[in-house]
Chains A and B, each alone.
Chain A
Amino acid sequence: DAKTTQPNSMESNEEEPVHLPCNHSTISGTDYIHWYRQLPSQGPEYVIHGLTSNVNNRMASLAIAEDRKSSTLILHRATLRDAAVYYCILTRSNDMRFGAGTRLTVKP
């Protein structure tokens, strides 16, 4: 299985941008890069996904390295409600396999 590596935790100040990194050096050509987040006591929530090009949506931006071995989730202005565990996942065939994720703490 292609694996992802994320920092265990990160901190951010409210209203500032946050860059959450993810390494996936064994990614294959057909793997999509997905990001989900899980707020406390809730189910995971889709954030964004992409294949090769950078992607933007109302929640975040996804910057994908040219060699696709890493990606970065960008929250443009962190709010207290963005405090969550963020998961970077490579989807291949049938499954979405979650790693440990990055626990983001947002300080007021």
Chain B
Amino acid sequence: NAGVMQNPRHLVRRRGQEARLRCSPMKGHSHVYWYRQLPEEGLKFMVYLQKENIIDESGMPKERFSAEFPKEGPSILRIQQVVRGDSAAYFCASSAFRGLNTEAFFGQGTRLTVV
């Protein structure tokens, strides 16, 4: 059973371009969480999705950022018109149930560099 897969592992974008980050949850998991981690800082919650639904996007910037988790395929975090401040590691996690009494499994992250 493969773990949470994120790709690409490293992504370089020029200012103004779009970045698309993919997250394939563990088999059988229908709950996905996205986090952002700036260098030398902790993880900041961005969004929680369940298949085809955004449950909580309270940590997501209002502009340029969007997330989806379609019925088929990976979850996508999309950043439009990237700026240097978007440079960070983006982690996704998946769980089989809502997060109260279950463990979440994290991917290895996508490191986005905006030049």
Contact yes or no, B103 A46, CB < 8 A: yes
A43-B91, A43-B108, A101-B42 known; A91 and B103 CB under 8 Å?
no
Contact yes or no, A94 B101, CB < 8 A: no
A98-B35, A101-B42 known; A91 and B99 CB under 8 Å?
yes
Contact yes or no, A95 B42, CB < 8 A: no
User: Is B52's CB within 8 Å of the partner chain A?
Assistant: no
Within 8 A of B (CB), among A50-90: 51, 85, 87
Q: Which one, B4, B99, B106, contacts A95 given CB within 8 A?
A: B99
Q: Which one, A32, A43, A51, A95, contacts B45 given CB within 8 A?
A: A95
Q: Which one, B48, B91, B100, B101, contacts A44 given CB within 8 A?
A: B91
Number of A residues whose C-beta is below 8 Å from B?
Answer: 25
How many angstroms between the C-alpha atoms of A92 and B42 in the bound complex? 19
Residue numbers of B with Cβ under 8 A of A are 4, 33, 35, 41-45, 48, 55-56, 58-59, 91, 93, 98-101, 103-109
